[in-house]
Structure 1
């Protein structure tokens, strides 16, 4: 059991372990899915982020803002 850090209640997080065999099966499943993902910037399910080069123009602002 892991405490959540809250002071107001008795919230805890309980981790349920898996067997080594189940862990290996999950590992193979996840690695196989990554290997079969489409290449070349095509959107696919599970994509977390895409770098948009247009955002680079805002980089100088991130250095100037703390000095204001």
Structure 2
């Protein structure tokens, strides 16, 4: 029952979108393009931050270990 309801809602939504006037479709397309570009930019910035953090960790000197003298 739920699957058939889901399919019928998708069908109705797709018919509704197809029936919209061309200027509205262009506006929706432009909006979705802006959203996709914004999300892609965020993903790229996140990747660059991770890459920079890995490079900084690799470039940082290892913690120096100082051997403590034995006690008598």
TM-score normalised per structure 2: 0.31
TM-score normalised per structure 1: 0.33
Higher RCO (CA 8 Å, separation ≥ 6 residues): 1
Q: Which has the higher strand share?
A: 1
Q: Which has the larger radius of gyration?
A: 2
